[in-house]
């Protein structure tokens, strides 16, 4: 259902497209084309029924399902503070802000129709709501307070400015507390999602909507895991090391 080579033609059934790559579901939702239990129509027929240009739709589907992967060999620990901070903001913070609200709406709609059959959905719903409520203000705090602070002390440290240690004493932010809080929140959320979804394995005979939803939660899991690695294993330890070294020069 994910990242498989698959040729999309006018005769391909809508459900087959989504079955091969869950990300196609968002394109179909955009045009009001059903892809679940009633989505057996060929793509061309579905487009005619909704008045959609099939060639344009195929282009959008190909774009939405293109393979984009980050090589595991990237030297994250060698990146400068500025580059690493920009990467986290433009990749991971952007993803969180875009994904969590939409995923919440999709989950609410699914729960409304399937809660009786799958009572565990209420737990997933509660976990996602808590994550969204707490992590969105948290990343705002990072971008408005913590990250600018890290940029300033990094600049002062690299430039060997004489006021560098004083800057830390004056502006010092609770980087370690931020790190601990975010890690605890995300770790608890991921553990809950994995347990309640059986590690994102849909039930036997699950409908296409169910499979798409679980795939999106797995995508969220992957992004949050990478996000936490970059911040808690690389960014924050490097910032704390700079703080410590700058302060030691005043002792």
Which residues of the chain carry a pLDDT beneath 50?
Answer: 1, 3
Residues 53 and 82 in one domain: no
Residues 171 and 102 in one domain: yes
pLDDT attached to residue 1: 46
Contact 22, 2 (CB under 8 A): yes
Count of domains forming the chain:
2
pLDDT attached to residue 38: 62
Contacts of 215 (CB under 8 A, 6+ apart): 1, 2, 22, 200
Structure token digits, residue 240? 């704390």
pLDDT tens for 134-186 read: 999 999 999 998 999 899 888 888 877 766 666 666 656 777 777 888 889 99
pLDDT attached to residue 108: 94
Closest to 142 (Cα-Cα) out of 100, 105, 181: 181
Domain limit, last residue, from 64, 95, 123: 64
Residues 20 and 101 in one domain: no
Torsion angle in degrees (nearest 10) through CA of 108, 69, 225, 137:
-60
Beta strands in 88-226 (DSSP E): none
pLDDT attached to residue 102: 94
Residues 46 and 109 in one domain: no
Structure token digits, residue 71? 């090589």
Contact 100, 136 (CB under 8 A): yes
The residue range of the domain holding 29 is 14-64
Q: Let me know if residue 224 belongs to a domain.
A: yes
pLDDT tens for 69-79 read: 777 778 999 99
């Amino acid at each position: 259902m994910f990242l498989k080579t698959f040729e999309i033609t006018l005769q391909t059934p809508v459900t087959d497209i989504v079955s091969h790559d869950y990300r196609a579901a968002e394109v179909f939702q955009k045009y009001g084309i059903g892809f679940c239990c009633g989505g057996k129509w060929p793509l061309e027929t579905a487009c005619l029924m909704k008045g959609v240009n099939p060639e344009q739709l195929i282009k959008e589907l190909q774009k939405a399902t293109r393979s984009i992967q980050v090589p595991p060999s990237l030297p994250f620990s060698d990146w400068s503070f500025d580059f690493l901070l920009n990467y986290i903001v433009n990749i991971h913070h952007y993803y969180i802000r875009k994904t969590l609200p939409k995923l919440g709406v999709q989950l609410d709609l699914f729960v409304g129709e399937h809660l009786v059959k799958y009572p565990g959905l209420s737990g997933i719903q509660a976990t996602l709501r808590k994550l969204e409520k707490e992590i969105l203000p948290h990343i705002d705090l990072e971008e408005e307070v913590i990250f600018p602070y890290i940029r300033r002390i990094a600049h002062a440290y690299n430039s060997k400015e004489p006021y560098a240690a004083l800057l830390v004493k004056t502006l010092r932010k609770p980087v370690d507390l931020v790190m601990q809080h975010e890690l605890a929140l995300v770790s608890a959320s991921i553990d809950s999602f994995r347990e309640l979804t059986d590690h994102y394995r849909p039930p036997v005979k699950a409908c296409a909507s169910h499979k798409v939803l679980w795939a999106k939660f797995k995508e969220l899991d992957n992004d949050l895991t990478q996000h936490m690695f970059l911040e808690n294993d690389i960014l924050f330890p490097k910032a704390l090391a700079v703080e410590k070294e700058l302060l030691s020069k005043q002792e």
